[in-house]
Structure 1
Amino acid sequence: MAAPPAAELGPDRPDGRPVRRTRPARLVLHAFLCVVALGWLAPVLLAVYASLRPYQETAKDGYFSLPRHLSLDYYRQAFTQSGMSRNFVNSMIIAVPGVVVTLLLASFVAFAVARVRVRGGLVLLIMFTAGNLLPPQVLVTPLYVMFNHIALPYELSDSQVLYDSYLGVIAVQVAFQLGFCVFVLTNFMRALPEEIVEAAIMDGAGVWTQYWRITLPLCRPALAALATLEFTWMYNDFLWALVLINDPEKLPVTSALNNLRGQFFTDYNLLAAGSVLVALPTVVIFFVLQRHFIAGLTLGSSKG
């Protein structure tokens, strides 16, 4: 390991070891990052703080006052009044298969472009990437009309069309997230050593073995990072469920927050408690996949 430059070393300690000086630029960078982090955390911390206080107290003293009463009662009310338990299940029915199918299809395309090097692979990659540039709101009306004309058996949809079914929302989520995942996985696979696949080919490995048993395990950091991002995006989506689902029993958990809003009055402390409950699964997913997520984001940031 190379020794730090002499300019960064201060006077020696009593035990003879040099003291590393902290450069002013690094102090400024750390201060800036702390300010940005606090800026992102401030709304979340304020929502948690408000959810623990009665609305009458914050209405009288303001949200930035010291609390007189703290309780978890709003969390119980939010969970029971909004019917959130059923909506949580609906979100999982949409998000979990959506993430799995998206990553599976994206890895197929990325492997074909980066490793098999199919003819026209670059054009295929550009097409998938360009799909991310299309605003989803432009397709709301065409998809609504089309989904009402696509028939499905009763086993897949009780409405017997793609509209008002979990399958329709999953299909839209996969379609809109596929391009981003293909772009990320393609660049990840291109960074993998060619010698690994060449050695497998010399041992008689076919295309499926190269993909499933060699390339895909090496892509675990990228897949974990994408799984975290995709689950967050699909779980938090409100637009497509609102447009493509009519049955209130099938709506995801993001729509449950609407049930906490009154016609003439809204208790924003209760709404804050509901928002915290809705955000919990994404926080859990991040902490479970944190190590792989960071490894996927930092790939290529250092050599050796």
Structure 2
Amino acid sequence: MFPTPIAKQSRSRQLTYQTLLPVALILWLLPLIAVALFSIKPGSDFAAGNYWGWPSSFEGLTNYGKVFFESNMPRYLMNSVFITLPTVLGAIALSSMAGFALGIYKFKGNLLIFFMFIAGNFVPFQILMVPVRDLTISLGMYDSIQGLVLFHVAFQTGFCTLFMRNFIRALPFPLIEAARVEGVAEWRIFFFVVLPLMKPALAALAVLVFTFIWNDYFWAVVLTQGPSAQPVTAGITEFNSQFRAAYHLMSAGSIVAAFPPVAMFFLMQKHFIAGLTLGAVK
């Protein structure tokens, strides 16, 4: 029913696996390797067709210096921080409370409300582009950080609620019953009994939502149009001009933009894995 672990297979299969795994990893990382390579090359190398060859000169310090000191990249990075952090906090806070209510209380319409949260995840966000843009304009939130935060929280809460509700339902219910017998208020049960047990799930969800929001490009382009509110994913296009694209600067900017979510994952890796696997084996 399940594949045999590689450690129990024949030596020839183990050698094949050990040989092909680095090759597959390199192929998977090839686009990132290309971007990192271009970030230290001069712009003339792209025009000359030197895509994979040795750089004609190493311009890493120059390219990254221009990204940080001769462009709006610092502003875009701060915009991404101001958009991502409130969104993560807002989505997790709302989904934790919604997940607690849907996972603990039994009432008429519980499953219907839960299915509505799930159904929202199946709506292609491209078809929402025009109505969401019109709504931000009517609310006076177009091209603003507040508008992006509001709609990111709204769109992420459905997935987060699905995650938190299923996690809370796996918790030992006798703990909650014991707290009720002792006369503990429901809000105290949530904050002092359930919430501490949800730390692995909260950490895993924080990493996922942080990555989703930081890497978002679609809504950044639809709901913003300038450096006053655009996040870094949309701000990288600033290095394009009408007749020429500075691919070496775009590559350097892409590496800078990719660093925060990668660092976030490695810092939270232990909690992230624990949150995804907790309850998988009983």
Name 1:54's counterpart in structure 2: 42
Residue 180 of structure 1, CA deviation: 0.8
Matched residues in 2 for 1:124 and 1:30: separation?
A: 48
Query: Quick one: which amino acid aligns to residue 104 of structure 2?
Result: R
Q: Are positions 1:104 and 2:93 aligned together?
A: yes
Name 1:252's counterpart in structure 2: 231
Residue 261 of structure 1, CA deviation: 1.2
Matched residues in 2 for 1:249 and 1:104: separation?
A: 27
Name the count of aligned residue pairs.
275
Matched residues in 1 for 2:172 and 2:17: separation?
A: 35
The percent identity for this pair of structures is 38
Name 1:298's counterpart in structure 2: 277
Please report the TM-score for the alignment, with normalisation by the length of structure 2: 0.88
CA-based RMSD? 2.4
Residue 184 of structure 1, CA deviation: 0.9
Q: Are positions 1:41 and 2:29 aligned together?
A: yes
Name 1:227's counterpart in structure 2: 206
Name 1:72's counterpart in structure 2: 61
Contact conserved, 2:76 with 2:227, CA < 8 A, in 1? no
Q: Which has the larger radius of gyration?
A: 1
Matched residues in 2 for 1:174 and 1:289: separation?
A: 21
Residue 147 of structure 1, CA deviation: 2.5
Counterpart among 271, 291, 301 of residue 250 in structure 2: 271
Residue 204 of structure 1, CA deviation: 2.0
Name 1:118's counterpart in structure 2: 107
Query: Quick one: which amino acid aligns to residue 132 of structure 1?
Result: N
Please report the TM-score for the alignment, with normalisation by the length of structure 1: 0.82
Which stretch of the first structure deviates more once superposed, 245-254 or 45-54? 245-254
Query: Quick one: which amino acid aligns to residue 93 of structure 2?
Result: L
Report which structure shows greater RCO (CA 8 Å, sep ≥6): 2
Q: How does 1:10-49 map to 2 (within 5 A)?
A: 22-24=8-10, 34-49=22-37
Q: How does 1:78-227 map to 2 (within 5 A)?
A: 78-150=67-139, 161-227=140-206
Contact conserved, 2:75 with 2:227, CA < 8 A, in 1? no
Distance 1:248 1:227, change over 3 A: same
Residue 109 of structure 1, CA deviation: 0.9
Matched residues in 2 for 1:83 and 1:29: separation?
A: 46
Gaps of 5+ in 1: 1-7, 9-20, 151-160
SS at match of 2:152: helix
Residue 259 of structure 1, CA deviation: 1.0
Matched residues in 2 for 1:75 and 1:128: separation?
A: 43
